[in-house]
Amino acid sequence: HGFLTDDRSPPSLPSLPIIGSLLSLRSESPPHIFFQKLKKRYGDIYSLMMGSHKVIIINNHRHAKEVLLKKGKIFAGRPRTVTTDLLTRDGKDIAFADYSATWRFHRKIVHGALCLFGEGTTSIEKIICRESSAIDLAPELTRAVTNVVCALCFNSSYKREDPEFEAMLQYSQGIVDTVAKDSLVDIFPWLQMFPNEELRLLKQCVSIRDKLLQKKYEEHKADYSDNVQRDLLDALLRAKRNAENNNVSTNDVGLTEDHLLMTVGDIFGAGVETTTTVLKWSIAYLIHHPQVQEKIQEELDSKIGVDRHPKLSDRGKLPYLEATIREVLRIRPVSPLLIPHVALSDSSIGEYTVQKGTRVIINLWSLHHDEKEWKNPELFDPGRFLDEEGNGVCSPSVSYLPFGAGLRVCLGEALAKMELFLFLSWILQRFTLEMPIGQPLPDLQGKFGVVLQPQRYKVNARLRACWEKNLHIHPDSDVE
C-alpha cells in the first residue's frame, strides 16, 4: 500500500495523479461515500492535498468531537473558496465566514432574534401551525417551510403561485447545485465544477437572490421603528442603528449593509433548504416503510385523536414520531460533510499533529454509518432510537451529530426540530402518503451538494378515513 506518513501527521493519500486514477475507478461515488470507503485503506483519519491545501478527513466520532468540542475554538475557522466568496460577498455571512469578532457578533444577534420566536413563546408554534394547515405536499410543503422562515426574517409570507416565490425556488436550487463544491473540486475532478458554466449559473442565481434581499432591506429600512422588532432584519437594523448612534464604525464591528444582507441570506437560505430537504427525505422513507407510517398514525390516533391538532407540547407524547425524525437525520444527514473547518493555530487531533491553516472535513456520513456504532447502518429503523419499553426516545450511540457541535453548531436546530415535528404530525394525522400506482419507489441515494437532497419523486396524499368527517376543524381552533 505504501502510503506516506511523516512522523506524526495523519496517514496521507498518495499524490494527486494516483488519487485521480483511484477516483476514476469509482467515480460514481459521491465524496462522503468515497471518503468512507477510503477509511478501509487509510484508517479513520487521513489527509490529502487539495491543490495547495492540506485537508484532513475525519471518519469517527472520537476525533470529530475533539475537533468540534474539545478543541472547538482552534478548529472554528472556515476556508475561503471562490463559490462561497461569491455567495457571501467574501464571507460577510455566518456559515461561510471565517472565525472573527464579526462572525461572533452576527451569531449573537441571530440567536437572540430566533429566541424571541423561540420555544418558550407560542408565536412560532402559531406560525408553523398556520402553515401546516395549508399543505398539499411538494410545492405547498416548500412554500409552507419558506413562509415560516419568511415570518422570522422578513415578517412576510408568500401566497400560492407568487412569482417571487417561484423565482426564489429557482435561484436557490441553482445555488445548492453549485455553491461550496469547489472546496472539493481539486480532489474530485469528475465533479467538473469550476469551469465557467456552473460559475456563471451561480453568479446569475446569486444576483437574483441579492435583488430579493435588497428589496426586503429597503422595505424594512423605510418603515423601521426603534420601538418594535418585527423580525430578524429589524434586529439587525437595530444593531446597526445603535452602532451608528454611538459613533462606532459599522465597518469595524461588521454591521455594514453587506453583512446584514448576507446574514439574513444565510438564515433565509438555510431555513428554506434544510427543513424542506429533511421533509422530503422523511416522506421518501415513509413511502418505503409503510409500517413505520402506520405506527406513527397509531400513536397520533391514541395520543392526540382527531378532535384537535398536535402541538409542540405533545412532543413528549409521540416518541415514535420523534424517533423517526432522528433516524431520518441519521441515515440521510442534511450536511454529510458539515461545512469545512480550518485550524486557527497549530494543534493536534488524536495522536497526530495538525498545522495552522489545515482544513478539516468531518465526514458525518461515516459517523452515522459506522458499523461499530450502528447495527445495520443502511437499514431505516426508527426503533433504534426508542428505549426498551418503547415509551421514550433514547440516544443509542454517541456517533450522532446531525447538527454538528461546538462553536459552529447549527443555529437553527431548535427551529428545525419544531418544524419537523409539527409539519410531520399534522400531515400524518390527516393523510396517508403513498406512491402513485405505476410509479417507482423514491430513489434513496441522494444528490451530493451543500445539502444532500433526494432525487425528485411523486407521492399521493390520501385523506385518512378517520379524518374525513373532521374537515370542519378550524386550523386555529386548537392553538393558543
Given a contact cutoff of 8 angstroms between Cβ atoms, the answer to whether 454 and 446 are in contact is: yes
236 is a site residue for ligand HEM (CB under 6 A): no
Pick from 401, 410, 398: nearest CA to 374: 398
Stretch that binds ligand PLO, among 55-63, 278-286, 332-340, 471-479 (CB under 6 A): 332-340
Cα 199 from Cα 459, distance rounded (Å): 33
**Interaction partner, residue 175 (ligand PLO, ligand HEM, none; CB < 5-8 Å by kind):** ligand PLO
Among 334, 343, 354, 452, the residue binding ligand HEM under the rule CB under 6 A is: 334
Among 266, 299, 327, 370, the residue binding ligand PLO under the rule CB under 6 A is: 266
Residue 461: DSSP 8-state: E
Q: How many chain residues interact with ligand HEM (CB under 6 A)?
A: 25
Cα 277 from Cα 275, distance rounded (Å): 5
Among 206, 415, 450, 452, the residue binding ligand HEM under the rule CB under 6 A is: 415
**Nearest approach, Cβ of 382 to ligand PLO (angstroms)?**
22
In which residue are the cell numbers 437595530 written?
238
Calculate helix-pair angle for 413-430, 123-132, nearest 10 degrees: 40
338 is a site residue for ligand HEM (CB under 6 A): yes
| Alpha carbon 366 to chain centroid, angstroms | 17
**Interaction partner, residue 479 (ligand HEM, ligand PLO, none; CB < 5-8 Å by kind):** none
Residues 90-119: x where in contact with ligand PLO by CB under 6 A, - otherwise, as a string: -----x------------------------
**Nearest approach, Cβ of 87 to ligand PLO (angstroms)?**
6
Q: How many helices (H) and strands (E) does the chain have?
A: 17, 8
1 burial type by CB count under 10 A (0-12 exposed, 13-18 middle, 19+ buried): exposed
What are residue 48's DSSP bridge partners?
55
**Nearest approach, Cβ of 172 to ligand PLO (angstroms)?**
4
410 is a site residue for ligand HEM (CB under 6 A): yes
264 is a site residue for ligand HEM (CB under 6 A): no
Among 49, 339, 414, 435, the residue binding ligand PLO under the rule CB under 6 A is: 339
107 is a site residue for ligand HEM (CB under 6 A): yes
Cα 447 from Cα 361, distance rounded (Å): 19
270 is a site residue for ligand PLO (CB under 6 A): yes
Angstrom distances, CA of residue 419 to CA of 124, 152, 272, 339: 9, 13, 11, 23
Cα 434 from Cα 441, distance rounded (Å): 9
Among 335, 358, 366, 453, the residue binding ligand HEM under the rule CB under 6 A is: 335
Pick 23 or 57: Cβ nearer ligand HEM? 57
Residue 453: DSSP 8-state: B
Stretch that binds ligand HEM, among 156-164, 214-222, 342-350, 405-413 (CB under 6 A): 405-413
Residue 154: DSSP 8-state: H
49 burial type by CB count under 10 A (0-12 exposed, 13-18 middle, 19+ buried): middle
8-23: string of b/e by CB count within 10 Å (b at 16+)? Answer: ebbbbbeebeebeebb
What are residue 462's DSSP bridge partners?
432
Among 183, 275, 324, 432, the residue binding ligand HEM under the rule CB under 6 A is: 275
Cell numbers at residue 431, please? Answer: 393523510
95 is a site residue for ligand HEM (CB under 6 A): yes
318 is a site residue for ligand HEM (CB under 6 A): no
Cα 253 from Cα 111, distance rounded (Å): 17
Cell numbers at residue 248, please? Answer: 462606532
**Interaction partner, residue 451 (ligand HEM, ligand PLO, none; CB < 5-8 Å by kind):** ligand PLO
Pick 23 or 325: Cβ nearer ligand HEM? 325
Cα 349 from Cα 329, distance rounded (Å): 26
Calculate helix-pair angle for 139-154, 163-178, nearest 10 degrees: 90
Among 267, 287, 292, 386, the residue binding ligand HEM under the rule CB under 6 A is: 267
Stretch that binds ligand PLO, among 37-45, 175-183, 250-258, 372-380 (CB under 6 A): 175-183
Among 33, 109, 110, 179, the residue binding ligand PLO under the rule CB under 6 A is: 179
Ligand-binding annotation for 410, yes or no, is yes
Stretch that binds ligand HEM, among 30-38, 271-279, 428-436, 457-465 (CB under 6 A): 271-279
DSSP codes, 318-387: -HHHHHHHHHHHHHS-SSTT-S-EE-SSSEEETTEEE-TT-EEEE-HHHHHT-TTTSSSTTS--GGGGB-
Q: Helix, strand or coil for residue 460?
A: strand
Pick from 319, 299, 279: nearest CA to 131: 279
Cα 414 from Cα 23, distance rounded (Å): 38
**Nearest approach, Cβ of 292 to ligand HEM (angstroms)?**
19
358 is a site residue for ligand HEM (CB under 6 A): no
Pick 23 or 451: Cβ nearer ligand HEM? 451
**Interaction partner, residue 172 (ligand HEM, ligand PLO, none; CB < 5-8 Å by kind):** ligand PLO
Annotated binding-site members for heme: 410
Could you list the residues that contact ligand PLO (CB under 6 A)? Answer: 95, 172, 175-176, 179, 209, 266, 269-270, 273-274, 334-335, 339, 450-451
Annotated binding-site members: 410
Could you list the residues that contact ligand HEM (CB under 6 A)? Answer: 68, 94-95, 107, 266-267, 270-271, 274-275, 278, 329, 334-335, 338-339, 402-404, 408, 410-412, 415-416
